[in-house]
Amino acid sequence: MGATNEWITTLAVGGEDVPFTSEERTLIVDWQFKRGGGFYTKLLDAMCQADSGNLAKFERGFPEIYAAFREWKSGKLSRRLREWSENQVSI
């Protein structure tokens, strides 16, 4: 559990060795790991419930967050996170 908390903190802070955009970090840390709250958490929860027409509106209004959400839904972001976190634990 300690190692997991350390890489989540590293991910939240960001930096040169963290290969995720700030929007991807928001999605992962604040929303997926329930460490945040507020606007972005509610926005991402709403995206999960949205139909394709409303997702298109989210994409126009919040393109960076929508791009991170799309990466998460496709499985690409979760794979990148898994690979990165495995490297963090083994260091």
The pLDDT value recorded for residue 31 is 79
**In degrees rounded to 5, what are phi and psi of residue 17?**
-90, 10
Alpha-carbon torsion 6, 11, 15, 19, what sign? positive
Domain segments of the chain as ranges: 2-13+22-90
Q: What is the reported pTM?
A: 0.72
Burial class (CB in 10 A: 0-12, 13-18, 19+), 33: middle
The pLDDT value recorded for residue 29 is 75
The pLDDT value recorded for residue 8 is 67
CB 88 within 8 A of CB 10: yes
Tens place of pLDDT per residue across the chain (91 aa): 455 566 667 776 666 677 788 888 877 777 777 776 688 888 999 999 999 999 999 999 999 999 989 998 998 888 888 888 787 755 4
